Amino acid sequence: MKQDFRSNAAQVKAQMENNITKALVSIGLHAQRRVSEETPVDTGRLRSSINYRVDQADKKVVVGTNVSYALAVHEPGIKRKYKGKPFIRNGIMNNLDEYGEIAKKVLKEGF
């Protein structure tokens, strides 16, 4: 009896890529929320502008804003009006363990 050994490497690779994307999106959503929580509020424009994108090629999440005064709010000494509160850095760095747990959970569920 001849056995048919077909490679399922392509399917496994595709599933792994899909799981990685799901993990990155989950981390992005969580990071967006955490950074928003750290964002100082005057009018709410800066806080509501916090967003993320998944960089598929580099397998990373980028969190930021397109509001022109965000850097002045984030970094001390750029404008006197703002003391500087590194809300993006804090929102990311203070929650690294959570992002690791999200990645483990999502990747584990995929298999």
96-109 and 9-38 are packed helices; what angle lies between their axes, rounded to 10 degrees? 150
- % of residues, the chain, pLDDT over 70: 94
Q: How confident is the model at residue 12 (pLDDT cuts 50, 70, 90)?
A: confident
Helix (H, G, I), strand (E, B) or coil at 42: coil
pLDDT, mean over the chain: 90
Mean per-residue pLDDT for 39-60? 95
pLDDT on residue 13: 87
pTM for this one?
Answer: 0.83
Contacts of 36 by beta carbon, 8 Å cutoff, 6+ apart: 47, 48, 50, 91
Q: How confident is the model at residue 77 (pLDDT cuts 50, 70, 90)?
A: confident
Mean per-residue pLDDT for 102-110? 87
Task: Considering only residues 81 and 75, tell me which one the structure prediction assigns the higher pLDDT.
Answer: 75
